A and B are shown apart, each in its own frame.
Chain A
Amino acid sequence: MPSPKSPGGPQGGGRSFSLPDWLDGMRVFTRNQLARYNGKHGKPTYVAYQGKVYDVSTSFLWRTGEHQAFHAAGNDLTAALKDAPHGPELLRKFPVVGTMA
């Protein structure tokens, strides 16, 4: 069982939260922080989807920090993926490195 952890917000009334195991040790990203991981100039290539941040640095299709001409790394792609010709299953092959704030 994971130990109760604070999600970062104030806790009142002695309440605690149990977060999923995969969140253990995960970094929480703001949009500005995520934007730094744009795959340019040797930086890692991160993208967010439905609250999770994925490291796609090893993907051939993200090698320049851009994907299929229309998508840039360092962004939340939740909305964009709705129109993509593939589902989140391709993204889920990559490691989760954090969550969105």
Chain B
Amino acid sequence: MAKVAIEMVKKSGVDVEKLVELLVKNAAAELTTYYYYTILRANLIGLDGETVKEIAEVARIEDRNHFEALVPRIYELGGALPRDMKDFHDMSGCPPAYMPKDPTDVKAMLKTLVEAERCAVRQYTNICNLTAGKDHRTYDLALAILNEEIEHESWFSEFLGEGPSGHFMRRGESSPFVSKFLK
């Protein structure tokens, strides 16, 4: 536990217990999304599915990275992950990204993917708003994750034809924003 780090955050007016609860919820959302995206990725086949598979895979790996990056901050702030993974799943800050009933419906899969990313964008925007100018380390982490979630949303949104976003697929390593927290 980072005693002085917690003290500084408390002094800034942030409710540390509530913040930790929110971080755990988001860690749960990232890990469960990683799991559900694994199923979606496996079913993204055929001419339409294969075109989406690569970005689904990048989003999947980056969501797992987000989980890895969140965990140290949870413990630094005096929190912990639940003992039982079933509890962890059910406390997720975002709904499960279940496979659509028709596993060949690529558009339905894309809608699932974009909704999951939109939930994440809302979540990290909220954490940034709660910590801006107060808890600098959590803010820095949430902002890094937010940058990647916004790109994920854009990728899936473009495949749905919602409009151009100006974003392109990753060139080079994954998690360009979050990787500094993984070293």
Using a CB–CB cutoff of 8 Å, the interface residues on chain A facing chain B are 60-61, 63-64, 68-70, 83-86
CB distance from A85 to the nearest CB of B (A): 4
**Chain A contact residues, majority secondary structure:** loop
Interface magnitude class on chain B:
10 to 19
Q: Which of B18, B21, B93, B129 contacts A61 (CB 8 A)?
A: B93
- Residues in A neighbouring B93, C-beta threshold 8 A: 61, 68
Min CB distance A80 to B, Å, is: 12
Contact A60 B95, beta carbon cutoff 8 Å: yes
Contact A85 B129 (CB under 8 A): yes
The reply to whether A83 and B25 contact each other, CB–CB distance below 8 Å, is no
Contact of B125 among A61, A69, A85 (CB under 8 A): A85
A84 touches B126 (CB 8 A): yes
Residue on A nearest B19 in the bound complex, by CB: A69
- List of B residues within 8 angstroms of A84 by Cβ: 126
Which residue of chain B is the closest to A70 with respect to CB atoms? B18
Residues A61 and B22 in contact, CB atoms below 8 Å apart: no
Decide: B18 and A69 in contact? CB cutoff 8 A.
yes
**Complex: A64 Cα to B91 Cα, angstroms:** 9
B25 touches A85 (CB 8 A): no
The answer, yes or no, to whether B100 is at the interface (CB within 8 Å) is no
Kindly list chain B residues whose C-beta atoms are within 8 Å of the C-beta of A64: 91
- Once bound together, how far apart are the Cα atoms of A60 and B96, in whole Å? 8
Which residues of chain B are near A61, meaning CB under 8 Å? 93-95
**Which residues between 5 and 36 of chain B lie within 8 Å of chain A, taking CB atoms?**
18-19, 21-22, 25
CA distance A84 to B19 in the complex (A): 15
Option from A60, A63, A69, A86 in Cβ contact (under 8 Å) with B22: A69
Q: How far is the CB of B35 from chain A (nearest CB, A)?
A: 15
Chain A residues with Cβ under 8 A from B25's Cβ?
A: 68-69
CB atoms of A86 and B122 under 8 A apart = yes
Distance from A52 Cβ to chain B, minimum over Cβ atoms (Å): 22
List the A side residues contacting B21 at CB < 8 Å: 69
**B90 cross-chain contacts in A, Cβ below 8 A:** 63
Within 123-177 of B, Cβ neighbours of A (below 8 Å) are at 123, 125-126, 129
